[in-house]
Amino acid sequence: MNSLSKVKDHTEIDKDIPVNFNDLQAVAKEKIPHENFEYIRGGASQEQTMRNNRIAFENYSFIPQLLNDTTAIDTNITLFDKTYTKPFIFSPVGMNKLEHPDGELAVVRAASKLGIPYSLSTVSSYSLEEVADAAPLHTKFFQLYWSADEEISFSMISRAEAAGYRAIILTIDTTISGWRTGDKKINFSPISNGYAKGNYVNDPIFQMHLSSGRYENYIDGIFKNINTPHLTWLHIEKIKNHTKLPVLLKGILHPKDAFKALECGVDGIIVSNHGGRQLDGVIGSLDALPEIVKVINGKIPVLFDSGVYSGVDAFKALALGADLVCIGRPYVYGLAIAGEHGVEQVMTNLYDEFVTTMMLAGVSSLDELKKVELVKRNSHV
């Protein structure tokens, strides 16, 4: 249970870590090199998808029902037989050394302090084993980008299982990299600069190919593996056969894909458009969520990702049927500003805003939150 006393008074908030997303972004911009910042901030092509994410949140309003006792707030959520006190999860964001030397190590330590599940990207700066060692008792999921050499993918899955990760998240919207005009404009490639090497250079299959001369160097090897346009639904069965861990698909936007995911026997899905970084011109993730929730109908967990910048945003996503909400850019900006402490403070602020929103909306549990009435511009939900 979380009571009113758990929501920090304004005097206790670290003034160096902005509580507003736009301010957070502005401070982070001053802390790291321009190209690093633009890589995090930017999206694909004309960034219409990024704008659509924000428009979707702005188009939804909720109607509070008051005079309910909200002295005690229960935000507990159970995922894969483990209960967490907050309905959040750290979204997998790659190459965290772009923001801070401690990179993913700082993030997973903050996640452990907060009790929020952490997702590690395939293209992390530190290896999955190093990240596991930084928070050995904490819940960690491994996000998998399928490799052109599928034996590398199977090796990474096995390594994650051996290191204590509790689930595999297969990202399905990144078979090739999006057309990121901001990076192309300044000719910036963080992979070429070595930021994504953690899991590759520590992989035995990758190292075997490197030693045999199949790759000119490790950067060449990474580039030869990250483009996988041949990835199809048939690969899901291969993954399920290779691991006993729960398997989630990240990047679902169409109800038909949600139905296919059920047919394939996956254990969860993440409604996501990759934060607007992959395909430009697609709908906001929040607009996709309600129909997907209907299709899934409680059979497997539905997580939500893309465009969550505040506690109010998280409230809306959960009210529309998400079971957990993935947080990405906000914590990355916190990392850029103040490392581990910055991540912890940003996520604490976001959670405190979420609890405040629940209390003022007259709901005291996540079950009650899902019954909140929402109005979408020009319609009623």
Catalytic residue list = 274
Please report, as a single letter, which amino acid is at residue 207: Q
**What whole-number distance in Å separates Cα of residue 359 and Cα of residue 268?**
29
Q: Residue 261: name the closest of 230, 292, 290, 286 by CA.
A: 292
- What is the CB neighbour count within 10 angstroms for residue 34? 10
Cα R_g (the chain), whole angstroms: 20
**What whole-number distance in Å separates Cα of residue 215 and Cα of residue 213?**
5
**What whole-number distance in Å separates Cα of residue 30 and Cα of residue 20?**
16
How far is the CA of 235 from the CAs of 25, 83, 350, in angstroms? 38, 30, 36
Q: Looking at residue 44, what DSSP letter applies?
A: S
Helices (H), the chain: 21-31, 34-41, 48-59, 103-114, 128-134, 150-162, 181-185, 198-201, 204-212, 218-226, 234-242, 255-264, 285-296, 311-319, 329-361, 366-369
